[in-house]
Copies of this chain bind each other. A is one copy, B any other.
């Protein structure tokens, strides 16, 4: 989506260690008018999927998830992160490695808020290795819910997550797909 690609080119910053910093409009400051346009785009792409619940993961997915959910008139459920394994009987859990932060989190969702009648759209800010996405898909499967797909703001298309997800049959809609990035040559996007 050109709107997001242009914003990433203008304000995204590339750092060593494969880091694309979008703190000024996604992860710390949130450009809400922009996000609202992206939320409408997610709605447009998944309008025929019967979505009745949006699933995301704290913290930076929550904003775009809520803005998207208002167009579906659906609730958001956000998976919580816990550094300790939570073996409570009333939660679904999955393990998610964060390569960015160099740690492993258990993500969890209460069984009260995800169930067999839910048709779930996963929304998240980034897709790279797919760790977070597959963790969320695991929670959806545990709940016996139906996965409609995943709406992602920024996919690092040169990493394995997006390809692996699509090969599993997951419908992934990424609004910007980074083909390559470097401090020297800047950012290029996959031409769709």
Residues of A that sit less than 8 Å from B by CB: 23-25, 28-33, 35-36, 54, 58-59, 62-67, 69-70, 73-78, 80, 109-110, 112-113
Contacts and interface: CB of A to CB of B under 8 A. Distances in A.
B66 A33 contact: no
B70 A33 contact: yes
Given A58-B58, A59-B78, A78-B59, A66 B112 contact: no
A112 B25 CA distance: 12
A22 B85 CA distance: 23
Nearest to A29: B113
B29 A69 contact: no
B70 A36 contact: yes
B77 A28 contact: yes
A29 B76 contact: yes
Nearest to A68: B32
Contacts of A32: 54, 66, 69-70, 73-76
Contacts of A35: 66
B29 A75 contact: yes
Contact of A113 (B24, B74, B75): B24
B67 A28 contact: no
Contacts of A74: 32
B70 A28 contact: no
A179 to B, nearest CB: 28
A133 B92 CA distance: 32
28 contacts: A23-B110, A23-B112, A28-B77, A28-B78, A28-B110, A28-B113, A29-B75, A29-B77, A29-B110, A29-B113, A30-B62, A30-B66, A30-B69, A30-B75, A30-B76, A30-B77, A30-B78, A31-B75, A32-B66, A32-B69, A58-B59, A59-B62, A59-B78, A62-B62, A62-B63, A64-B66, A66-B67, A67-B70
